[in-house]
Chains A and B, each alone.
Chain A
Amino acid sequence: MTEKQKAAAYWKENLKYLVILLSIWFIVSYGAGILFKDALNTIKLGGFKLGFWFAQQGSIYVFVILIFVYVRLMNKLDKKYGYNE
C-alpha cells in the first residue's frame, strides 16, 4: 500500500467507528432521553422511570463509556496502520 492508500484506509475505518459510536450517542440521549421518554417512563428501574433516568443519568454514563471505547479502538487502529507513537 502506498502512503496515500494507507491514509485513506485508516480514515475510512475511523469514519466507520465514528458512525457507530455517534449512533449510540444519539440513541441514548435524543432517543431514550427525549423522543421516546414517555414510552420508556412506563418501565421502572427501582425508583426511576426509565426515560427520566436516561435523561438525567443514564446517558451520561454511556457518554463516558463511549469515549473510552473510542480511545481503545483508535489506539488499536493507530497500531494497525503504524501511526502510533
Chain B
Amino acid sequence: MSVQVWTWILVGITFSIYFGIAIWARAGSTKEFYVAGGGVSPLANGLATAADWMSAASFISMAGLISFMGYDGSVFLMGWTGGYVLLALLLAPYLRKFGKFTVPDFIGDRYYSNTARTVAVICALIVSFTYVAGQMRGVGIVFSQFLQVDINLGVIIGMTVVLVFAFLGGMKGITYTQVAQYCVLIFAFMVPAFFISMQMTGNIIPQIGMGGTVEDGTFLLDKLDTLHTQLGFKEYTSGSKSTWDVFAITLALMVGTAGLPHVIVRFFTVPKVKDARKSAGLALLFIAILYTTAPAIAVFARTNLIETVSNTEYKEVPEWFKNWENTGLIAWSDKNNDGKIQYVNGSATDGKPKYIDERGKYGERMVSNANDSANELYVDRDIMVLANPEIAKLPNWVIALVAAGGLAAALSTAAGLLLVISTSISHDLIKKQIKPDISEKGELLAARISILVAIIIAGLFGIYPPGFVAAVVALAFGLAAASFFPAIILGIFDKRMNRQGAIVGMIVGITLMLFYMIRYKTGLIGVMDPRPASEWWFGTSPEGFGTVAMVVNVIVSVVISRMTPAPPKDVQEIVENIRIPSGAGEASSH
C-alpha cells in the first residue's frame, strides 16, 4: 500500500480513538472542566503531562534542530527536561496543596490582589498564544505533507479536531485523549528510531547506537565530526555558540518549562500532594524516552543526509529528495554547473528559497534568491524527523506512523494550551473579577466560548505564522521564565514577598523579555530587521534572554518587597500551610 493510503488509515484510526474518548469523558461541571474532577491517577497524569508538553516542536522540529546544531542542540535536551526537576521539587507539590484551578488563581490569592491576578492572566495569555501558534503551524505542516492538502486547510482541520475534544471534555476529555496521544506519539517516534539505529550501527537501542560504530569500524560520532570538518561545518560534538549563551538558553528553557501554565495546571488534577510529586517524576520518565532518542535520531539523520546528498549527481538523488523539493522544504541550485550537489557550510539562498515557475536543466525547481556562497543545498530543519524514515528507506507504514505521531504531539499540546487560555478567561477574569455571582452553568458556557475564540485566534496564527516552529516556542519559554516563575517560587519560599514586589517584578520581567524579543527577533523596534548578534546585550540571544529577564524580575521583586509592608497575617498563614503536604483535600471549588 502507498504511504498515502497508510497515512489515511492510521490517522483515521487514531482520530477515532481521540473522538471516542472525548465523547466518553464529557465534562459536566466546572471542576471536571478545569481539573478533570481532581481524581486523575499519577500514572495517567504523568502520561498526559508528557503528551501535553511534548509539542510539535519536540516531535517534529527538535531532532531536526539538533541535527543541524550538533552540540548546541543540547540546550533543548537539557533545558526541556531539566525544568521538570524544578517543577517536581519547587512547584508541583506546593501548588497542588494550594489546590485551586489555575496559576493566576495562586498568584491572585497569594498576593492578595486582583491586579496581580490580572497581570498573571495577561502573562498566561501571552505565553500560551505564542506557544500555540507554533503548534497549529506544526499541524498544518504534517497535514500538508502527508495528506497532500494545503497547509492552511491542514491548520483548519487541526483546529476542528482540537475543538471537539477540548470543547466537550475540558480538562477531563483532554487528559484521557492525551494519554492515548502519548502512546501514539511515542510509538511513532521510537519505531523509525529502532529501525534506523539497527541499520546504521547494528544496535537496536538508539541511545546506545548513537555511540556505536558504523560499518567501517569507526565510531559514528567521530565519523560525523570528520564529515562536518571536511565540509567546512563546525565539529558536530563541539558546537559554535558561546558557553554563556548555551548556559543562558538552557536556563531560560528549564525555568520556562517549570513556569508554563499548561504544565503546572496538570498537577492540580491529581488527588494528593504525594501524587503530584510522583506524577512529575513519571512525566519526566515518559518524556526522557523521547528526549534521549532525539539526539540519536539527529546523528543518524545528519550522517544519512550528508552521505546521500553530498557530491551526488542531482539525476541520481533518491525519490524523497524530489518529493520534499516539491513541497518547498528542500532546494538545490547548481551554482557551479556540474550537476552535482555541493553541500557545505553557508546558506544556499538569501533567506528561505523563493521558487520561480521554471525547472532547471536537470529538472530541479529554480529559485530566484540563490546567493554566491559555495553551498548549493537548502534543507528545512523541520523535515528531518518527517523525512527520516524515507531517507532510511523504511516501509510505508512507518512513514505514515510518523505523520500520526506528529499530529498527536501537536494536537495534545494545542488542546492543553487552549484550555489554559479558556480557564484564564472564564475563571480568573469572569468568575473571579467581572461577575463573581455567575452560575456554574454560566461559567462552563463562558469557558467553552473562550475555547472557541481561542481556537480561531490560534488558527489565524497558524495560517500566518510569526516564524518557524521551534524558534517561536523557545521564546514562549523565555516569556514564562521572565514572568511567572519568580512570582510562584518567591510566593512559596519567601514568606516576606508581598504584592507590590510580585506585581512590579512580573511586569518588569515580561516587558523586558517582550522588548528584547521584538527588537532582536523582528526588528519592529529600531529599523534593522532583525538586529545582528553583535548587538545582543551581554552576548545573549533572544532565546536565552529569559534568563536575564528572570534575574531582573527576582531582584526587582525582592528589593521592592523589602521596601514595602509585609504581607498580611492570613497570607503568611497560607504560605505556611502550603509547605505542609497533609490535608490537601480535593482541588477546591470556588
Contacts and interface: CB of A to CB of B under 8 A. Distances in A.
Contacts of A43: none
B272 A85 contact: yes
B231 to A, nearest CB: 19
Contact of B274 (A45, A46, A63, A75): A75
Contacts of B295: 56-57
A32 to B, nearest CB: 10
A74 B582 CA distance: 12
Interface string A25-52: 1000110011101000100011111001
Contacts of B78: 29, 33, 55, 59-60
Given A29-B82, A45-B211, A34 B88 contact: no
A84 interface: yes
Contacts of A66: 85
Contact of A63 (B93, B284, B579, B584): B284
A78 B583 CA distance: 12
Interface residues of B, number: 50
A71 to B, nearest CB: 5
A74 B274 contact: yes
Contacts of A30: 247, 250-251
B464 to A, nearest CB: 35
A35 B74 contact: no
Give the residue among A35, A57, A85 with the most B Cβ atoms within 10 A.
A57
A85 B270 CA distance: 14
B581 A55 contact: no
Contacts of B82: 25, 29, 59, 63
Given A46-B219, A59-B78, A83-B580, A41 B237 contact: yes
A25 to B, nearest CB: 5
A7 B251 CA distance: 32
B75 to A, nearest CB: 9
Contact of B580 (A10, A22, A56): A10
Nearest to B294: A56
Given A47-B219, A55-B71, A74 B277 contact: yes
B369 interface: no
B77 A22 contact: no
Nearest to B209: A47
A47 B84 contact: no
Nearest to B295: A56
Contact of A34 (B250, B272, B584): B250
A41 B81 CA distance: 22
Contacts of B250: 29-30, 33-34
B221 A67 contact: no
Nearest to A24: B85
Contacts of B278: 71
Secondary structure class of chain A's binding surface, majority of residues: helix
A45 B331 CA distance: 38
Interface stretch (B98-106, B285-293, B407-415, B445-453): B285-293
Nearest to A55: B74
Nearest to A4: B576
B582 A83 contact: yes
Contact of A85 (B93, B280, B582): B582
Nearest to A11: B579
B237 A33 contact: no
B89 interface: yes
B246 A34 contact: yes
A63 B222 contact: no
A53 B274 contact: no
B213 to A, nearest CB: 7
A47 B213 contact: yes
B39 to A, nearest CB: 14
Interface of B: 66, 71, 73-74, 77-78, 81-82, 84-85, 88-90, 93, 207, 210-213, 219-222, 237-238, 243, 246-247, 250-251, 272-274, 277-278, 280-281, 284-285, 288, 291-292, 295, 576, 579-584
Given A48-B221, A60-B291, A61-B292, 12 more contacts: A10-B580, A21-B89, A22-B89, A34-B74, A52-B237, A55-B71, A56-B66, A59-B82, A60-B77, A64-B285, A71-B88, A84-B274
